[in-house]
Structure 1
Amino acid sequence: MAPIGEKDERMGTTLADDDENESQTLWATILGEVQSSSATNLPSTKSVLVLGDNESGKTTLVARLQGVEEPKKGSGLEYYYIDVKDDYRDDQTHAGVWVLDGDPSHTGLLKFAITEENFENILVLLVASMAQPWSIMESLNKWASYLQEHVDRLKLKPEDRREYEDSLVRFFQEYTEPDENSSGNQVPSHRRDVNPLHPTASHTEEDKVLLPLGENTLSQNLGIPIVVVITKSDAISTLEKQHDFKEEHFDFIQQHIRKFCLHYGASLVYSSVKEEKNCDLLYKYLVHRIYGFPFSSPAYVVEKDCVFVPAGWDNEKKISILYENLNTMKADDCFEDVITKPITRKPIQRDAEVVAEDEQVFLMKQQSILNKQPAPGPAGMEAGKGTPTSEGMLANFFNSLLNKSTAKTPGATKADKAAVSREAAAELERLQKSKKMAPEAKPNGPDSAAS
């Protein structure tokens, strides 16, 4: 039997070991919770790239998503951010937003927005404006081609590129209609350690049968989630009033856009910042696609100015419903042939109309000019004694006319000169009688004797 002191010593050692084990277990639990919570934090590496023509409403749309009233326009490649908050987990972060200028010469700047490193964490907005519906399809196809050219130049591993493309196919195939009774504040269905932009195949649903996609669905798979946003949908009323657009025109436009979205696996949103249409819906859908937030809004294609088509919902059969309303056009007609740009006629520039001056006003102006001129000769000085009067001016005028008519008429005979002199002398005599002119103002030309 061991001494009592030894027994107590062994018991003390055992209690110390138990305390140490309990402490290690506690620290392991704390570290595990920290790791678990960090895995559920909102990532700060997500971003959105906005592409579209100038004046399509890109900057205004981003400002609305930011909650900013005064949008700031720039050039080249601009960077903004959108606040994202998870009220359920009391977490928040920023989503970066790249906005590329509408000048095609700036497409080289895409290398700063989409890289091999951030490829899996970016979503693209293709923006076009309903204010100019005739250019919608041209704009969408143009910017989609710029995006594809840039993606093809990236040095992505073939297996990674294939996985990105397959994830978009899975997202389309696994789409399910949201439960209308579900609450928008429910716990997010996606785990934060899974990238909602590129979800991986679920191991628990390996035996789940996925229907094949349509022939044209994701035929242009870029491996990047795309959302097509048609801005300024409030312009539809203006198009109806000023350009005689009918219901079938907007159905024709919509079916062309939805076919484009099918090719790229894109979502579609009609929005109007001016009338606050679908702006909040777009924000909620973006954080749903990027962060896995819950989203309960179903597709909506009834009203022509607030269309919403989530990725995975649409197909060619649903689009064909729009064909029933096409009366003066066919679904496969060329877009530019049906939705034509209105002819704006420039105002005709006409020469300024010249209004003839009243005859009496004109003559009075001429008389005023003559009165200001000095008398031509000594006779005028004698008549006015330094300041010729109007009568003297007229006498001198006819006197000089008499002299010029007789002296500068080439080939004139003496009889002709005499006739002219007689006429001038008679007119001068008439003026003298009516104005009581001085006798010294009589003509003194060389042929005055002939009168």
Structure 2
Amino acid sequence: MSTSNQIPGSRLGAGNNSRPSSKDGPKKNIWSSLLDNVANGKRLPEKNILILGGTPESQREFLDTLSADPSDPSLSNENRKGRVPPIANQFALGYTYQDVLDADQEDTLARVSAYLLSEPSLSFAPLLKPLLTPQSVPETLVVILLDWSEPWTWIRRLREWVRLLRHVLVSLDDETKVSMEETMTEWRDRKRGTEPSSAGAQGLTSSGGPVTMPLGPGEWDEGLGIPMCVVCQGADKIEKLEKDHGWHEEEFDFILQFLRTILLKHGASLIYTTPFLANSLQSLIHSSLGIHSLLKRQSLKHNVIDRDKILVPSNWDSWGKIRIIRDGFDMEGVSTGWSIEIQDLPEPLTNGPVEDKPQEDPTEMDDGTSAVTIFEQTIKDPKRDTSMAHPSSQQNSNKIEVETTDLQGFLTKQLEVLEQLKIDDEKDRATKPVPQLEMSPLEDNGRVNEHIGPVQFNMGGIQVDADDMLRKLKEREASRSQRKETISSPGDEKAHNQALANFFAGLVKKPGSSPRGSPQA
């Protein structure tokens, strides 16, 4: 029987041709291709966050909030040490990563690489440029950190960060710029709201295409090419600004209107956060990166009412919504001034007060239309603003306010004062004699007793004269003292001592002699 119809490579084949040889070209890479397909299927989506601004500590606080388990906020970082990667953010461009878990804390939805930079210096621009490629731009989010400990520096810091980003983005290659333009177009065309939706939800035109809502004034006219989010940390300090520095709702409303007007031009989102309190930061960042739970649908709702929990998602705000916060805010002037200022290169931020900084930029002083100047003329550092000082403190030109310490520090100083007072009292008691107190004013036989008369009281039905009882007690005490003195008089003590001397002299008496001072037997 012929075996020409045998399946090649079958184990039923006879002879040496039953096993495929290594020279078979079509079958040589079969396992490699299978493994590559499996690896690609299990590869995690990679997302990037550029965290700009803040200090190493505030950057860590942001990352802790971002990685917190929303189902169990009480789970501290100490309990998650085993699965929390280290953070390297002490020098230049820092880095860490986070694995985003699903609602069941089992499945991993994506891996987020976080790049951290604290200062908007041109010297760091070459470090940011390699991070932006045609592949990474659609998966990247820029986060700028601000802190409520210094709100008067916010607009200047924002301007320098935007200037640095524009400088980096302009220097990218054409392919990356095309990717940025496509990303911005996608963001602008999203439905007005917080959740991306299909074209059917946006509505359809008569020709069957999706309806695109027109942009309002000041919206997306300064798109950077990368989605951006501004996080204002430490919203719990708002109350301190109000109580200690006399800030009112006007200042907080002005800051909010200014931020929203600027961020509207870039299509950016805004959120206020408070340490150790639940907030929507994680939902905002994840939705901006396109990370969505497969098990639980998370809604993201705006909040412009609670001043310490502000949340303005991208594509939600408008001039009309900003204007109703408080009348009189010049959105047109701020918007125009901001567009002009961000064209320049970034300037170094000084560590000193920002009040001295505008003098270095003559353009801000000449026309007075600078957005930064407008902001800093209204929102001033309380330590340098004499108009907000109390009347009593204005008398001293060198100190315009009273610096307060925290409660624990105050109590510690008071404890030291009390301890010093205690030591001083002990020294005074050691050097000064203790005054003798009179036993009773009844000892005085002067004119006072003549007016008062005898003091009497009832004891067991017997009327007792206090003066007479006190007199008898004194006589008894005097008699007792006299008897003690008689018993221990100097004469008796002398005789007792003589007897002891005679006794000991007798113990050492020599034979044939008598003790000294004693009569012969």
TM-score (norm 1): 0.57
- 1:246 and 2:248 matched: yes
Q: Distance in 1 between matches of 2:323 and 2:38?
A: 48
* Matched AA of 1:249: E
Q: Distance in 2 between matches of 1:227 and 1:42?
A: 27
User: Are the counterparts in 2 of residues 50 and 124 from structure 1 also a CA contact under 8 Å?
Assistant: yes
- Report 1:5-84 matches (<5 A): 43-54=44-55, 57-67=58-68, 68=77, 73-84=89-100
Label 1:298 to 1:156 Cα distance change in 2 as closer, same or farther (>3 A).
same
- Shift, 1:231, TM fit: 0.9
Q: Distance in 1 between matches of 2:206 and 2:230?
A: 33
Label 1:42 to 1:134 Cα distance change in 2 as closer, same or farther (>3 A).
farther
Counterpart residue number, 1:160: 179
Structure 1: runs of 5+ lacking an equivalent? 1-30, 179-187, 191-200, 349-451
* Matched AA of 2:131: A
Counterpart residue number, 2:101: 85
Label 1:56 to 1:130 Cα distance change in 2 as closer, same or farther (>3 A).
farther
Cα RMSD over matched residues?
3.7
Label 1:206 to 1:149 Cα distance change in 2 as closer, same or farther (>3 A).
farther
- 1:342 and 2:360 matched: no
Q: Distance in 2 between matches of 1:312 and 1:60?
A: 27
Counterpart residue number, 2:136: 118
- Report 1:37-436 matches (<5 A): 43-54=44-55, 57-67=58-68, 68=77, 73-87=89-103, 90-102=107-119, 104=121, 105-157=123-175, 159-171=178-190, 174-176=191-193, 207-272=209-274, 274-278=275-279, 281-293=280-292, 294-324=297-327, 334-343=374-383
Q: Distance in 2 between matches of 1:225 and 1:51?
A: 13
Percent of aligned pairs with the same residue?
27
Helix, strand or coil for the counterpart of 2:383?
A: coil
Q: Distance in 2 between matches of 1:56 and 1:134?
A: 20
Q: Distance in 2 between matches of 1:106 and 1:65?
A: 25
User: Are the counterparts in 2 of residues 59 and 72 from structure 1 also a CA contact under 8 Å?
Assistant: no
Helix, strand or coil for the counterpart of 1:227?
A: strand
Q: Distance in 1 between matches of 2:266 and 2:188?
A: 11
Label 1:35 to 1:116 Cα distance change in 2 as closer, same or farther (>3 A).
closer
Number of residues of Structure 1 aligned to a counterpart in Structure 2: 290
Q: Distance in 1 between matches of 2:147 and 2:45?
A: 30
Q: Distance in 2 between matches of 1:55 and 1:234?
A: 20
Label 1:297 to 1:164 Cα distance change in 2 as closer, same or farther (>3 A).
closer
- Shift, 1:206, TM fit: 5.2
Q: Distance in 2 between matches of 1:175 and 1:292?
A: 19
Helix, strand or coil for the counterpart of 1:323?
A: coil
* Matched AA of 2:162: A
Q: Distance in 1 between matches of 2:167 and 2:205?
A: 34
Q: Deviations over 1:307-328 (max 9, x none)?
A: 001111111101111124x7xx
Q: Distance in 1 between matches of 2:56 and 2:88?
A: 13
Q: Distance in 2 between matches of 1:166 and 1:343?
A: 45
User: Are the counterparts in 1 of residues 219 and 265 from structure 2 also a CA contact under 8 Å?
Assistant: yes
* Matched AA of 2:303: Y
Counterpart residue number, 2:3: none
- Shift, 1:341, TM fit: 1.3
Helix, strand or coil for the counterpart of 2:210?
A: coil
User: Are the counterparts in 2 of residues 226 and 267 from structure 1 also a CA contact under 8 Å?
Assistant: yes
Q: Distance in 1 between matches of 2:127 and 2:205?
A: 40
Q: Deviations over 1:185-227 (max 9, x none)?
A: xxx979xxxxxxxxxx999995232221113111111221111
Q: Distance in 1 between matches of 2:133 and 2:178?
A: 16
Q: Distance in 2 between matches of 1:297 and 1:269?
A: 12
Counterpart residue number, 2:347: none
Helix, strand or coil for the counterpart of 1:337?
A: helix
User: Are the counterparts in 2 of residues 56 and 128 from structure 1 also a CA contact under 8 Å?
Assistant: no
* Matched AA of 1:99: L
Helix, strand or coil for the counterpart of 1:61?
A: helix
Q: Distance in 1 between matches of 2:225 and 2:287?
A: 18
Q: Deviations over 1:68-93 (max 9, x none)?
A: 46977512111111221234793444
Label 1:66 to 1:161 Cα distance change in 2 as closer, same or farther (>3 A).
closer
TM-score (norm 2): 0.49
Helix, strand or coil for the counterpart of 2:235?
A: coil
